[in-house]
Amino acid sequence: MKDNKYLSIGNFLETMMIPPDETPTLQQVRDRQAAYGLSAPLPFGWETKKMLLGNVPVLELSGPEATKSGAILFFHAGGYSAGSAADHAGLAAKLGCTAQVKCYCVDYRLAPEYMFPAAVEDSYNVYITLINLLDEDTPVVLAGSSAGGGLAVAIAQLVKARGEKIPSAVYTISPWADMNQVGESFITRGPHDPMLSKESLNDLRDIYLNGHDPSDPMASPVNGDFENFPSLLIHVGANEVLLSDALRLTSLSANAGNDVTLKVWQDMIHIFPWFYPHLEKANQAIEAAGSWLCEIFDQNKI
């Protein structure tokens, strides 16, 4: 029997989405994202703690279920110009709860106040500081949604290129991994995507890159190195224009000989796990990701 506390995707879109004829300002986008994210509850008993890692603000999320040796480093969504650790703390904590580890959510700098590569630099510095802070044998997984999903892939590539310890795995939700906005899903899924379009992504890209080459692997990790890439889990909605990015990441990493798991969720929209207060499939995705992560942490147990 379907759980009545959740909305159908149709009802959710009717009650929560911005009217299609409205073009919100950047501040309105930031305010709306904050309002929804900050209203999302943390799992029972879970708490947030503000800290600095590499001089970057981070929220440490911990609770009674975090009994395993390991950590998740989470990068929030928001097109590199909106969002915060606080408005993704609920999702990050639920992920940590199901994976049974602490989670650290990064407040990387946002455009247009701070242009590319500020978000990459902050995220890299947090990762390096965290692995040096934890015991040497503690496995660390990178995770993120949308822009944060692209960051997770880019940071995994960057630390390998710089000779640093690579993460144990990467979990991405609706990753934005190619700022050139190419792919069949922009055509086939565009009419079904209530949140993003090629045009809106181009606008976000231009705010963030400020004229920088969108093909740079640190902006578009589909152009990066996938040799010996960590185990990768990708969750994406069937009704989003970034479906092609998820498919390309899957193909690139798999063809480089790596372990990849892709789950395309029917009827779901961009970053749908973030909407866990209202969508049943969001909670199912978080549980599935948590189970996958538990296996990763157990495999990396020393």
1 pLDDT band, cuts 50/70/90, is: very low
| Ordered alpha helix ranges (H), 210-279 | 243-255
Convert the pLDDT of each residue in 129-176 to its tens digit: 999 999 989 999 999 999 999 999 999 999 999 999 999 999 999 999
Convert the pLDDT of each residue in 3-16 to its tens digit: 578 999 999 999 87
Q: Are strands 56-62 and 169-173 parallel, antiparallel or unpaired?
A: unpaired
300 pLDDT band, cuts 50/70/90, is: confident
Q: Please compute the mean of the pLDDT values over residues 112-134 and round it to a whole number.
A: 98
* E strand intervals along the chain: 47-53, 56-62, 71-75, 102-106, 140-145, 169-173, 231-237, 260-265
Convert the pLDDT of each residue in 252-278 to its tens digit: 999 999 999 999 999 999 999 999 999
> Please, what are the domains in the chain?
9-299 (3.40.50.1820)
Report the alpha-carbon distance of residue 219 to residue 111 in Å, rounded: 13
Taking the CA atoms of 261, 264, 269 and 274 in sequence, report the sign of the dihedral they define.
Answer: negative
Residue 2's pLDDT is 52
List beta partners, residue 61.
48, 103
Q: Please compute the mean of the pLDDT values over residues 184-211 and round it to a whole number.
A: 96
pLDDT surpasses 90 at 24: no
Residue 23's pLDDT is 80
Phi, psi (deg, nearest 5) at residue 165: -65, 125
Residue 178's pLDDT is 98
Q: Please compute the mean of the pLDDT values over residues 62-67 and round it to a whole number.
A: 97
